[in-house]
C-alpha cells in the first residue's frame, strides 16, 4: 500500500504517545504522522521510534528490543503520513527479528532492522560512566529548543568532537509502564530511540575544523544504531555522551553511551552523518 492509498492519518501529534499511536490499516502495515514544525525534513529520531513501534506491534510481549540498525534514505516530509511496512523475518523462542520499511509519496525514506530478545538471567556488568564530572540536569546547562516532546540540556564547553546532554521525554511528563515487554519498558525503549538522534551530529560538527562556518555546510544523518542493555525510564533524565570517532570523505561517525541518573549504562548508540560543504 502506498501513501496515496492509505487512510487519512490522525490529527497532528502533540505528545510522544500521540507519535506512537499508529493506525493499523492492514496486516503488518501501519501509518503515522508528524508534528508540523516547518522544517525541511522529519526529525530522524521520530521515524526511528515509530518504525520500532510498528515492529513491536508484531512481536510477542515477552520479547524486548535489544538492538536496532537503520538507514535514512530520503528526507521525510512532515506534512505527509508515513507508511510503515513490517516484514516478519523470524519468530524464535529466544529471539525475534523484524524489518521495517518507511515510505512516503517520494518512495522509501527509511528502513530499520530490529532484534528482540526474551529475558535470560545471567551475570551483570556495566562500565562506569566516563562523564562523572558532568553537571546535573539542574546545573548551568544550555536548554536546546528542539521540540515540544523532549527536553534537551546540553553540557557546554566539551572537548572538540564530543557532545554531552541530559535528555528526557517532556510531553507527557510521565510515560506509562505499558504491559508489553520485559518490565513493561517497551514504550520507554522507543522513547530512548527517539532521543538518541538528538546530539550525534553535534559531536561530528564539533570535531570539524571549520566550526565557525556552519552556514556553508549541510548535514544529515545517514545511518543509526542503538543497543539496549537495560530498561530505563525515558521520562527521567538520561545522560547521552557522544564522541566523534572518524571524519573522512564528508562522513563522520560518532559513538556514545546512555546512562541513567544513577550512572547505570542503559544503551549504546552510534551514528554516521554526512557533513558536506555546499557548493558556492
Which of 224, 227, 189, 197 shows the shortest CA–CA distance to 70? 224
CA distance 3 to 82: 7
pLDDT at 264 over 80: yes
pLDDT in the model for residue 181 = 59
Question: What percent of the chain has a predicted confidence (pLDDT) above 70?
Answer: 91
Q: Which three cell numbers stand for residue 96?
A: 525475534
Catalytic one among 77, 85, 197, 241? 197
Catalytic, 197? Answer yes
**Cα angle for residues 176, 20, 137 (degrees, 5° grid):** 60
Query: Is-contact 168 234, C-beta < 8 A?
Result: yes
Lowest mean pLDDT among 43-52, 181-190, 223-232, 234-243: 181-190
Domain at 3-118, CATH from 3.10.129.10, 3.40.50.300, 3.30.9.10, 2.60.40.3080: 3.10.129.10
Mean pLDDT of 221-250: 95
Catalytic one among 50, 129, 206, 221? 221
pLDDT in the model for residue 246 = 96
Mean pLDDT of 4-29: 83
pLDDT in the model for residue 102 = 98
pLDDT in the model for residue 5 = 46
Q: Which three cell numbers stand for residue 99?
A: 524489518
CA distance 259 to 264: 5
The dihedrals phi and psi of 126, each to the nearest 5 degrees, come to -145, 135
pLDDT at 51 over 70: yes
Q: Which three cell numbers stand for residue 74?
A: 530520503
Q: For the stretch 217-236, what's the b/e string if a residue is b when 16 or more beta carbons lie within 10 angstroms of its beta carbon?
A: eebebbbbbbebbebbbbbe
Who's near 120: CB < 8 A, 6+ residues apart? 94
pLDDT in the model for residue 7 = 46
Shared fold status for 3-118 and 142-277? yes
pLDDT at 6 over 60: no
CA distance 246 to 272: 9
**Residue 163 exposure: Cα atoms within 13 Å on the Cβ side:** 27
Domain boundaries of the chain, sorted by first residue: 3-118, 142-277
Task: Assign domain 142-277 to a CATH class.
Answer: alpha beta
Mean pLDDT of 226-243: 95
CA distance 20 to 37: 18
Torsion sign, CA atoms 30, 36, 39, 40: positive
Amino acid at each position: 500500500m502506498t501513501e496515496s492509498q492509505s487512510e487519512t492519518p490522525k490529527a497532528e501529534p502533540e505528545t510522544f504517545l500521540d507519535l506512537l499511536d499508529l493506525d493499523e490499516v492492514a496486516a503488518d502495515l501501519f501509518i503515522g504522522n508528524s508534528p508540523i514544525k516547518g522544517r525541511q525534513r522529519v526529525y530522524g529520531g521520530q521515524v526511528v521510534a515509530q518504525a520500532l513501534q510498528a515492529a513491536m506491534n508484531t512481536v510477542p510481549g515477552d520479547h524486548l528490543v535489544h538492538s536496532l540498525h537503520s538507514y535514512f534514505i530520503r528526507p521525510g516530509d512532515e506534512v505527509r503520513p508515513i507508511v510503515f511496512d513490517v516484514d516478519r523475518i523470524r519468530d524464535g523462542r529466544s529471539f525475534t527479528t523484524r524489518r521495517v520499511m518507511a515510505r512516503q509519496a517520494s518512495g522509501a525514506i527509511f528502513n530499520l532492522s530490529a532484534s528482540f530478545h526474551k529475558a535470560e538471567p545471567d551475570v551483570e556488568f556495566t562500565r562506569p560512566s566516563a562523564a562523572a564530572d558532568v553537571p546535573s540536569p539542574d546545573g548551568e546547562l544550555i536548554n536546546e529548543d528542539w521540540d515540544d516532546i523532549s527536553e534537551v540540556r546540553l553540557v557546554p564547553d566539551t572537548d572538540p568532537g564530543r557532545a554531552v546532554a541530559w535528555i528526557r521525554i517532556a510531553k507527557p511528563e510521565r510515560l506509562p509502564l505499558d504491559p508489553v515487554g520485559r518490565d513493561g519498558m517497551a514504550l520507554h525503549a522507543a522513547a530512548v530511540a527517539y532521543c538518541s538522534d538528538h546530539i550525534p551530529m553535534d559531536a561530528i560538527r564539533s570535531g570539524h575544523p571549520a566550526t565557525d562556518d556552519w552556514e556553508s555546510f549541510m548535514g544529515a544523518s545517514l545511518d543509526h544504531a542503538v543497543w539496549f542493555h537495560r530498561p530505563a525510564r525515558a521520562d527521567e533524565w538520561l545522560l547521552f555522551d557522544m564522541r566523534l570517532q572518524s571524519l573522512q570523505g564528508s562522513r563522520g561517525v560518532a559513538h556514545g553511551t546512555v546512562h541513567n541518573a544513577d550512572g547505570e549504562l542503559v544503551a549504546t548508540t552510534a551514528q554516521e552523518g554526512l557533513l558536506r560543504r555546499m557548493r558556492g
